[in-house]
Amino acid sequence: MKKKTTLLEKMDHILSPIGSKLGNQIHLKAISAGMMFGLPFIVVGSLFLIVANPPINLELYNSETANFFIRFLASWKEFALANYAELTAPYNMTMGIFGLICAFGIAYSLARDYHLNAAMNGIMSVAIFMLVAANSIDGQIPTNYLGTNGLFVAIIIALVVVEITRLVERFGWKITMPDSVPTAVTAFVNSLLPLLLNIIVIYGTNLILIALTGVAFPDFIMQLLTPALGIAGNLWGFIAIVTFGNFLWLFGINGSSIVFPILFSICVANTGINGDLVASGQEPTVAMNLQMFRISILGGAGGTLGLIILMLRSKLPQFKTLSKISLIPGICGINEPIIFGLPIVFNPILAIPFLITPIISLILSYYAQVSGLISMGYIIDPSFTPFFAQAYLATMDWRNVLFYCGLIVLSIFIYYPFFKVYERTIMKEEGLTKI
């Protein structure tokens, strides 16, 4: 045991500085914070998608044998089909402009951290994003990249806009006004040069790309990102990134915050694809959707809800007390009390199930979706919602709720032998022999 502890300490010495730098990296923090701007819009938009797609198949509906609830669903479905365009309009103008919202939110967050004019940078980012990704053609604005399809383009543009503005600020290319001039006027004048430079650089790059390749900037970026997205967009690449994040947790580094921008961006984009398919009357087809991200942190990083349940029946009073405190947060996907209170950090015994549980859960979830055992996620559910609510809201399918519960039962079995070993170890340290 001493050798393992020494090894963990050596790894901590190497990984902690790296993880700390990644966790505090200003651009990654801005991406995470900026995407949060869009979450209220996509959650509310998803509610209208739920209203427009009640969970019933009219082809299997029989009015003579149906009960009151099924008849209600059938009536709801008929109403939804008759008014589909009106019901999905809020979805199109919330989820459908998620990329646009993130263009503002990310630029705003990064500019704020740089102590620049956050609102002005956000508006500049929106304007240039529209110029490049949704430029008007014959009076019509294309919407291909306004939603989740344009999320990565929005990230790049937002970051570049702020960095160009910061460059202007660093070189002192601004006009100093007398104190008598209103602050708003000074801000207006000094925003002209950054805006002009951003248009020249980003829109100019777009025009050059079109001239050289025949492909606009958003399409070009997506082509470049396709190999990278393929890594995280397939099951094993996704598992590798999740495991890396959980591995960092073992050293007290918030691994979830580090991998969040990558995984959440991909999963939201893929859920948007599924949502568009459902909105057009088709079946969702992309298995690597937001539901997979939720399952990767089911009960928190490491899938520790099963561990919390085991602790409820522990004979160690400190374990029982900690489990009672951690149960409700764990149901909502928050498990820092367990990670740092038990602890799992620097714990070679519990590190094994902490890494293994999400891997097994993700593999089972992927193939359950592909085989049709459960439904694929097509709705963006609220974060930090109880897991059973997320399971249903993501798919409108009760089978998914049962599946999530099954994963938690499975986590109990995975954690059980390791927890008992750790429990006995603590009892021996405290001089308790009976367990």
- Provide CB contacts within 8 A for 362, sequence distance 6+: 235, 238, 239, 242, 292, 295, 296
φ, ψ dihedrals at 302, nearest 5°: 85, 0
- pLDDT mean over 345-374: 91
pLDDT value at position 1? 46
Residue 193: pLDDT band (50, 70, 90) is: confident
Least confident range from 8-12, 250-254, 356-360: namely: 8-12
Whether the predicted pLDDT of 435 surpasses 60: no
pLDDT value at position 34? 84
pLDDT value at position 245? 85
pLDDT digits (tens, 9 = 90+) for 126-163: 999 999 988 777 778 887 788 877 878 888 999 999 99
Single pTM value for the model: 0.67
Buried b (16+ CB within 10 A) or exposed e, 100-114: bbbbbbbbbbbbbeb
Residue 361: pLDDT band (50, 70, 90) is: very high
Whether the predicted pLDDT of 72 surpasses 50: yes
pLDDT digits (tens, 9 = 90+) for 21-36: 665 778 878 887 887 7
pLDDT value at position 311? 92
d(C-alpha 180, C-alpha 301), whole Å: 55
Helices 235-249 and 217-232, interaxial angle, to 10°?
A: 70
What percent of the chain has a predicted confidence (pLDDT) above 70? 86
pLDDT digits (tens, 9 = 90+) for 249-271: 887 666 776 777 778 878 888 88
pLDDT value at position 226? 61
pLDDT digits (tens, 9 = 90+) for 284-330: 888 888 899 999 989 888 999 999 999 998 888 888 888 888 888 88
Amino acid at 107: A
Query: CA gyration radius for the chain?
Result: 25
pLDDT digits (tens, 9 = 90+) for 36-60: 787 788 778 777 877 887 766 676 6
- Provide CB contacts within 8 A for 119, sequence distance 6+: 108
pLDDT value at position 21? 65
The DSSP result for 194-224, as a single string, is: HHHHHIIIIIHHHHHHHHHHS--HHHHHHHH
Residue 103: pLDDT band (50, 70, 90) is: very high
- Provide CB contacts within 8 A for 207, sequence distance 6+: none
